[in-house]
Amino acid sequence: MARTRSRGRTSRVGWASVLTMSAIALLGVSALRAAHDGPTGADEVSQAPSTAVTYATHVAPILQKNCQNCHQPGGIGPMRLMEYEDVRRWAPVIKARVVQREMPPYHYDTHVGIQDLQGDWRMSDDDIQTVVRWVDGGAPMGDPADLPPPVTWPPAGEYLLAKRFGPPDLVIKAAPYTVPAKGQDRWWRPAVPSGLTEDRCIKAIETKPSVPGRAVTHHANSTFEPAGSTREPDAVGGSGPGSTRLSEYALGKIGEVIPSDACRIAPANSNVRWDIHYYPNGVEIVDDQVEVGIWFHDRDVTPETRYRQTLGLYALQSGTGDFEIEPHGTLMTQGYRRFETPVRIDSWQPHGHLRLVAKRLEVLYPDGRRETLSMVSNWNPGWHHSHVYAPEAAPILPAGSVIINTAWYDNTARNRYNPDPDQWVGVGDRTTDEMSHAWIAVTHLDAQGYERLTTERDRERERR
């Protein structure tokens, strides 16, 4: 009876993998495998579950935790995943996206390099398996009485880090800019007074496009410059004399948190120079304003009492940093940076556009050892993350270490994001050009600091 009903639903949604849990139990695993031809063809069910996985008990809490912040009315997700009826309709696609680790959108390899990250959106293997078993089991509701209470979400357009830190201490808005409905890429580089009268150490930063503007704001970088500076910024947003990088934002990124033992400086008497890249998307946006919210450390955290942390763009080091990818071709690029003093690597954010497919960060130690710190082998140009290493995992490198930044590009038709495999692709600012750099937050140590941090790290390891 139940099985007949499930089959009926199957044909409506074009989904042949629907079987009720009782049917799975009856048919056994091999029959389940044979019957399954879902969207991924992925069959991770290794044994028939003894208890039914239901929406109410098992799946709703997973969606609350991992999906609803975006898949809610007014959220950036294309559909709602708030109610059973909405979710059930999408069940096969949800399974596919979750198994491939494309949703939640956090692309970071799970079996290579440092796995201990802060603000990590990746789902646990257990939660992924629960979703798979639920979908394969016919996506049953279960008992509505078991549903968790709904989550109260902040209104669209609020700072996401406000949940953790309260409202920002300082908000700096770019001058307004009207983005046309159609046309090619636009750049907007206004300077705005920061209003800071003393040097402060930054705790967290979140760059926030406007709600209507978030789909067209491809990136928005910001740099502190000495007030009164009239210098025109260079092509990538500038880092002239006396200027320090405030933040980097690209489509999909949430924010940055700076470790409390380091100081990323917000200097007094400064302007914030914006470098905003808009990409018209069919709708005119009048007087759009990107803003950045800054949270400061307490005043006892000063540039004098902490090691300096910088956010830098680490690119190809040789020649002009130029490269070209031939039509229907592939390419690998590599960039190196040697650190003369000891450093701690606090975060890594790979950057690239539509032909980039994978990126890796390695370190070559002075003793010749080479180690992979992080890798993204399933790059998605729609999502950019600053992968912040957990305090106990952030690599501490001795003086003379070299970081190696490797990028792989695919300009063939096999790359699903490739808009035109017949084009030559060069380095440039446009979305259809390519880039090869990574943004890396580095705390600059001295011999003493290196000694202290590595000793603390060793002690902690022994304790655990």
Q: Which residues pair with 257 in a beta bridge?
A: 204
Shortest distance (Å) from residue 104 CB to ligand HEC: 4
Secondary structure E strands in 300-437: 307-314, 324-325, 330-338, 343-350, 356-364, 370-376, 387-389, 396-397, 402-410, 425-426
Q: What distance in Å separates the CA atoms of residue 146 and residue 51, rounded to the nearest whole number?
A: 15
Residue 98 found at the interface with ligand HEC (CB under 6 A): yes
Shortest distance (Å) from residue 55 CB to ligand HEC: 12
Q: Which CB atom, from 93 or from 112, has the smaller least distance to ligand HEC? A: 93
The residue type at 193: P
Interacting residues with ligand HEC between 368 and 397 (CB under 6 A): 382
Concatenate the DSSP letters of all residues of 204-247 into one string.
EEEEE--TTTTTTEEEEEEEEEETT--PPP-TTS---TT-EEEE
Torsion of CA 337, 341, 347, 349, to 10 degrees: -20
Shortest distance (Å) from residue 57 CB to ligand HEC: 17
Size of site (CB under 6 A) for ligand HEC: 17
Residue 67 found at the interface with ligand HEC (CB under 6 A): yes
Q: Which CB atom, from 49 or from 105, has the smaller least distance to ligand HEC? A: 105
Secondary structure element (H or E) that encloses residue 452, with its range: helix 447-463
Judge contact between 387 and 119, C-beta under 8 A: no
> Which of helix, strand or coil describes residue 35?
helix
Q: Which CB atom, from 301 or from 356, has the smaller least distance to ligand HEC? A: 356
What Å distances lie between residue 285 and 7, 174, 182, 383, CA to CA?
Answer: 47, 15, 11, 22
What Å distances lie between residue 278 and 71, 89, 234, 332, 364, CA to CA?
Answer: 24, 34, 17, 28, 37
Displacement of CA 445 from its chain's centroid (Å)? 27
Piece of 63-71, 160-168, 284-292, 356-364 that binds ligand HEC (CB under 6 A): 63-71
Residue 66 found at the interface with ligand HEC (CB under 6 A): yes
Shortest distance (Å) from residue 115 CB to ligand HEC: 19
Among 69, 386, 401, 436, contact with ligand HEC (rule: CB under 6 A): 69
Q: What distance in Å separates the CA atoms of residue 347 and residue 201, rounded to the nearest whole number?
A: 17
Q: Which CB atom, from 160 or from 170, has the smaller least distance to ligand HEC? A: 160
Residue 94 found at the interface with ligand HEC (CB under 6 A): yes
Q: Which CB atom, from 40 or from 401, has the smaller least distance to ligand HEC? A: 40
Shortest distance (Å) from residue 249 CB to ligand HEC: 14
Q: Which CB atom, from 29 or from 79, has the smaller least distance to ligand HEC? A: 79
Q: Which CB atom, from 212 or from 312, has the smaller least distance to ligand HEC? A: 212
Contact code string over 411-450 relative to ligand HEC, x by CB under 6 A: ----------------------------------------
Residue 315 found at the interface with ligand HEC (CB under 6 A): no
Residue 103 found at the interface with ligand HEC (CB under 6 A): yes
Q: Which CB atom, from 69 or from 347, has the smaller least distance to ligand HEC? A: 69
Is the preceding peptide bond at 280 cis, omega within 30 degrees of 0?
no
Torsion of CA 173, 176, 180, 181, to 10 degrees: 50
Contact code string over 252-271 relative to ligand HEC, x by CB under 6 A: --------------------
Among 56, 76, 147, 390, contact with ligand HEC (rule: CB under 6 A): 76
Q: Which CB atom, from 70 or from 147, has the smaller least distance to ligand HEC? A: 70
Shortest distance (Å) from residue 383 CB to ligand HEC: 7
Q: Which CB atom, from 66 or from 405, has the smaller least distance to ligand HEC? A: 66
Contact code string over 104-143 relative to ligand HEC, x by CB under 6 A: xx--------------------------------------
Judge contact between 293 and 251, C-beta under 8 A: no
Q: Which residues pair with 425 in a beta bridge?
A: 325
Piece of 66-74, 309-317, 330-338, 339-347 that binds ligand HEC (CB under 6 A): 66-74
Residue 74 found at the interface with ligand HEC (CB under 6 A): no
28: left (phi over 0), alpha (psi -120 to 50) or beta: left
Shortest distance (Å) from residue 87 CB to ligand HEC: 8
68: left (phi over 0), alpha (psi -120 to 50) or beta: alpha
Among 41, 73, 78, 241, contact with ligand HEC (rule: CB under 6 A): 78
Residue 77 found at the interface with ligand HEC (CB under 6 A): yes
Backbone φ and ψ of 426, nearest 5°: -115, 180
Provide the 8-state DSSP code for 336: E
The site for ligand HEC (CB under 6 A) is made up of 66-67, 69-71, 76-78, 90, 93-94, 97-98, 103-105, 382
